[in-house]
Amino acid sequence: MVFENLVGYLLDKYLGDYIENLDTKKLKVDLWSGNVVLENLYLKPNALADLNLPVTISLGYLQKLTLQVPWKNLYTHPTKATVDGLYLLVVPKTEVEYDAKRDEKEQHELKMREVRKVEELRKEREALENNQDANKTNDTFAERMQLQVIRNLELSIQNIHIVYEDRSTKPDHPFSFGITLNYIKLHTTTPQWEPTILKEDTPLIHKLGELSGLSVYWNTDVHPRSGQPRDTLLKTLQDQIATDSLKAPTDISYILRPLNITARVILLMKPRQENYTKPMFDIKVELDDISLNLTRDQYLDILDLLEFQDFLASQSKYIKYKVRDTGLTSVRKNWKFAGDAVLNELVRPRRDCYKWVNIKAHLDRCREYRSIHFQELTAGKLTPEQKQRAEDLEKKIDIFNLTYIRRKAEIEAKKKKAQEPKGLWNSVSSWWSGSKPQDEPDLDLDNVMSADEKKKLYDAIGYEGEDTSTTSYPSNYIDIDLAIHLQLLDINVWSKLDEHDAINRIVTRIAIPNTGLVFRRRPANDAIAVFVDLGSFQILGIARTKTNNEIGNTERPVLVQPVTSSKSTAQDKLLKIEFETNPLNLQADYRVKVQAQSLEIKYDAPTINQLAKCFEQDTQRNLQG
């Protein structure tokens, strides 16, 4: 009963703000059966409002969302979450025809989202202040519960394509940039990293995470797609998802070529039983070649977009005053637009706020809204008429007063509930954070779970009580051991060398092979250690002869490279950096060690001149806003 309510609350909270016409009743019924399947969903146009950018979703489509929860075997069987096919086409707000009703609805949803965000931040701050002692305990129930969720979670996300298309910044040269993802998979494996299903309790849990085909692209001089039929547009977005670097679409200019990442995670459920000899999280991440590319046209588009953002934000704010009367001349339209914008945004609000009629109406609205919200908190239900009235009042009351009124009603409702029997489930938001806010006292395992249920849960997650604080850890125990290895970082700058070039050529190439990063944490001393090493470093210039193979390096001058000596070995790294806090063997707060090899640097005039020309601005820009 507890976990069904928890999952239902989370789904309703995080999906309701972004999915259009979400049937929450059907969602809860499917959730009780343990199998939720949502198909052919469309995202709200304001789903990206939290980014605070002057953009809107022209097309947002979620092909399939699946959630399988084994309620009868929650502690031993996996919970599977699958997202298949998420396609977003984002455009500036100025390119979408203004709709007053839609804009009013979006503004109301955005306002209430901000109110809820303020309330959640307040509750988190109060919980932190009221539970400072609990924060010192590392091996808490909440952390064990999170570990259990990760243990049994199998995640699959595939076929993601998010694209921003802009024909307002440069009307003569529209551009688009986007992100594509082939898939992300997280599943449980054997010690040999073969997929498996755990049906019994084991001290070590092996998780394999795979990311395939993550890419970022930027196309210049594109043909706008926002006016295409929905099915045609979806088919185009699906076909442009790259599976790997070798099978990438040829009509896309990649900034980040398709990248593959593999992560191997070993979770130790009960470190005490292993005498603290193994980390709780042992993570090894392998990255394939990272290829970053930038052309001069992409660089100029980025500058134009950054400069144009302030104009787009202002234009989006005043778009509702745009004159659509075709009987007026362009000069009269502009003057009417300017007059309406100044009067409604500056003059009338200042004048009307001092009128007694408006002050009294504002106070009446605040009192009425407090009464309705208080009834919602105490009675739990509102009539459809009361809900509609509350929504109308929320549209007229500002965010500050909404937050104040709702908080005042919560305090009054809390006082009233303190005199009544406690319910079984009034709050679930503090489960994940491991804290219990003062205004949400009803989340208590003693009330919502029986002794047998608590014992079964504690045994499943390896929780042994609140006495397992960080002071019981050995001082040298490492609970997080993260190692990241990158085979090659390849950075290329492309440009046309002269007016006769039909294609872009590589001006400069930077190659950084065999790079590693290690992060370790010792909870007993609140210490961390970071180790970074670079195998080599090279900068190559313009090829001396033009060839069809721009990938080769044989004809390129070497501008920067390590200096090899007779004492150098293949294991020597170009750069080693070590940083540690509260080291074990030293009477110091920090330890820093840097070891570097020599570099040979050469000046190549053609490369430097062409590189300066590539990043030269074609016009004067103001990027300070």
Element (H, E) at 415: helix 399-417
Nearest to 89 by CA among 64, 55, 41: 55
Q: What is residue 174's predicted lDDT score, i.e. its pLDDT?
A: 92
Q: What is the pLDDT of residues 516-560, one digit of tens each?
A: 999 999 998 889 999 999 999 999 999 887 766 667 777 889 999
d(CA 182, CA 214): 7
pLDDT band of 128, cuts 50, 70, 90: confident
Largest Cα span, the chain: 89
> What's the DSSP call for residue 43?
B
Length of the chain: 625
Q: Where are the beta strands (DSSP E) in 387-452?
A: none
Q: What is the pLDDT of residues 261-276, one digit of tens each?
A: 999 999 887 788 888 8
d(CA 399, CA 611): 50
Mean pLDDT of 277-302: 93
pLDDT band of 510, cuts 50, 70, 90: very high
Mean pLDDT of 217-224: 91
Instruction: Please enumerate in sequence order all residues whose Cβ is within 8 A of that of 451, keeping only pairs 6 or more positions apart, or say none.
Output: none
pLDDT at 223 over 60: yes
pLDDT at 473 over 80: yes
Q: To which residue do tokens 């001069």 refer?
A: 296
Nearest to 147 by CA among 69, 201, 190, 192: 201
Q: In this structure, are residues 575 and 595 in contact, taking their beta carbons and an 8 Å threshold? A: yes
pTM of the predicted model as reported, rounded to 2 decimal places: 0.78
d(CA 187, CA 611): 46
d(CA 134, CA 418): 24
pLDDT at 305 over 50: yes
Q: What is residue 38's predicted lDDT score, i.e. its pLDDT?
A: 85
Mean pLDDT of 581-600: 90
Tell me which of 422 and 605 has the higher pLDDT: 605
Q: What is the pLDDT of residues 396-418, one digit of tens each?
A: 999 999 999 999 999 998 888 88
pLDDT band of 53, cuts 50, 70, 90: confident
d(CA 552, CA 556): 8
C-alpha separations of 366 from 115, 395, 622 in Å = 15, 12, 44
Q: What is the pLDDT of residues 316-370, one digit of tens each?
A: 788 888 877 667 777 888 888 889 889 988 898 888 888 999 999 999 999 999 9
pLDDT at 24 over 90: no
Q: What is residue 14's predicted lDDT score, i.e. its pLDDT?
A: 65
pLDDT band of 49, cuts 50, 70, 90: confident
Q: What is the pLDDT of residues 139-152, one digit of tens each?
A: 455 555 566 666 67
Q: In this structure, are residues 62 and 88 in contact, taking their beta carbons and an 8 Å threshold? A: no
pLDDT at 134 over 50: no
Q: What is residue 462's predicted lDDT score, i.e. its pLDDT?
A: 56
Q: In this structure, are residues 506 and 492 in contact, taking their beta carbons and an 8 Å threshold? A: yes
Tell me which of 446 and 495 has the higher pLDDT: 495
What is the C-alpha radius of gyration for the chain, rounded to an integer number of angstroms? 29
Tell me which of 450 and 559 has the higher pLDDT: 559
Q: What is residue 372's predicted lDDT score, i.e. its pLDDT?
A: 93
Q: Is 98 helix (H, G, I), strand (E, B) or coil?
A: coil
Q: To which residue do tokens 């990063």 refer?
A: 517
Neighbours of 410 (CB within 10 A): 17
Domain boundaries along the sequence of the chain: 473-614
Element (H, E) at 28: helix 24-33
Neighbours of 481 (CB within 10 A): 18
Q: By percentage, how much of the chain surpasses pLDDT 90?
A: 39
Q: What is the pLDDT of residues 76-123, one digit of tens each?
A: 677 888 999 999 999 988 887 777 888 888 888 889 888 988 988 888
Average pLDDT, the chain: 82
Q: What is residue 609's predicted lDDT score, i.e. its pLDDT?
A: 93
Q: In this structure, are residues 623 and 302 in contact, taking their beta carbons and an 8 Å threshold? A: no
Neighbours of 20 (CB within 10 A): 11
Lowest mean pLDDT among 391-405, 454-468, 560-574: 454-468
> What's the DSSP call for residue 223?
P
Neighbours of 88 (CB within 10 A): 21
Q: What is residue 612's predicted lDDT score, i.e. its pLDDT?
A: 92
- β-strands 505-522, 290-295: how paired? unpaired
Terminal C-alpha separation, the chain: 53
Q: In this structure, are residues 454 and 471 in contact, taking their beta carbons and an 8 Å threshold? A: no
